[in-house]
Amino acid sequence: MTKTHFELMAELEQVDGVEATYSPEDNKLRLYAATRFDDETYVLVKQYGFKWAPKQDLFVAPIWTPEREDFCVAIAGDIEAEGTTLAERAEAKAERLEGYAANKERKADELFSSANELSRMFEHGQPILAGHHSERKALKTKDRMDNNMRLGVESQKAARHYLYKSVSVQHHANFKNNPKVRANRIKTLLVDLRKYQSDLNHYALSLKIWEKMTSDEEITKFSKWGLIRTGSTVSDKARQSLENGEITPQQLRSQRIAAFKRALEITNRHRWIDHLLNRLAFESEMLGGVSRFEGEITATLLQTFARAHGADKPKATKTQSGNFQLKSLAPLPKQFVNGASCDTLELTNSEWAELMSDVCYEVPVKKDAKPSILNFKAKHLQSPSRYHSGEINTLEQIELTKADYAKVHDEERGTRLSLCGKFRFKVCLDPNYKGPRYQAPRVAVFLTDSKAHPVPESFVPVVEAKAA
Q: Is the pLDDT of residue 316 over 50?
A: yes
Q: Is the pLDDT of residue 279 over 50?
A: yes
Reference 151, options 121, 110, 119; nearest CA is: 110
List the Cα angle 221/223/229 in 5-degree steps. 100
CA 211/CA 379 separation, integer angstroms: 73
Residue 335 banded pLDDT, cuts 50, 70, 90: very high
Reference 381, options 459, 321, 434, 291; nearest CA is: 459
CA 278/CA 272 separation, integer angstroms: 10
CA 37/CA 400 separation, integer angstroms: 83
Summarize pLDDT for 53-76 with one digit per residue, the tens.
Answer: 998 899 999 999 999 999 999 999
pLDDT at 119: 81
Q: Which of 88-102, 131-145, 211-225 has the highest mean pLDDT?
A: 88-102
CA pseudo-torsion sign 442, 448, 450, 453: positive
CA 369/CA 366 separation, integer angstroms: 9
pLDDT at 29: 95
Classified as helix, coil or strand, 261 is helix
Domain regions of the chain by residue span? 5-83, 88-176, 181-270, 291-358, 369-468
Which residues, other chains included, contact 77 with Cβ-Cβ below 8 Å and sequence gap of 6+? Answer: 14
Q: Which pairs count as long-range contacts for 265-272, CB under 8 Å and 24+ apart, including other chains?
A: 267/199, 267/200, 267/203, 268/66, 268/67, 269/196, 269/199, 269/200, 270/200, 270/334, 271/66, 271/69, 272/66, 272/192, 272/196
pLDDT at 466: 44
Which residues, other chains included, contact 310 with Cβ-Cβ below 8 Å and sequence gap of 6+? Answer: 193, 194, 195, 196, 197, 198, 201, 333
* Residue range 285-297: mean pLDDT, rounded: 89
Q: Is the pLDDT of residue 155 over 50?
A: yes
Summarize pLDDT for 389-429 with one digit per residue, the tens.
Answer: 889 999 999 999 999 999 999 999 999 999 999 999 999 99
pTM above 0.75, yes or no: no
Residue 134 banded pLDDT, cuts 50, 70, 90: low
The mean pLDDT of the chain is 88
CA pseudo-torsion sign 445, 451, 452, 453: negative
AA identity, residue 344: T
Q: Is the pLDDT of residue 341 over 90?
A: no
* Residue range 367-393: mean pLDDT, rounded: 90
The side-by-side arrangement of strands in the sheet containing 18-23 is 51-53, 58-61, 28-33, 18-23, 79-81
Cβ 116 vs Cβ 108: under 8 Å: no
Q: Where do the DSSP E strands lie in 44-96? A: 51-53, 58-61, 79-81
* Residue range 161-173: mean pLDDT, rounded: 87
Residue 278 banded pLDDT, cuts 50, 70, 90: very high
Residue 378 banded pLDDT, cuts 50, 70, 90: very high
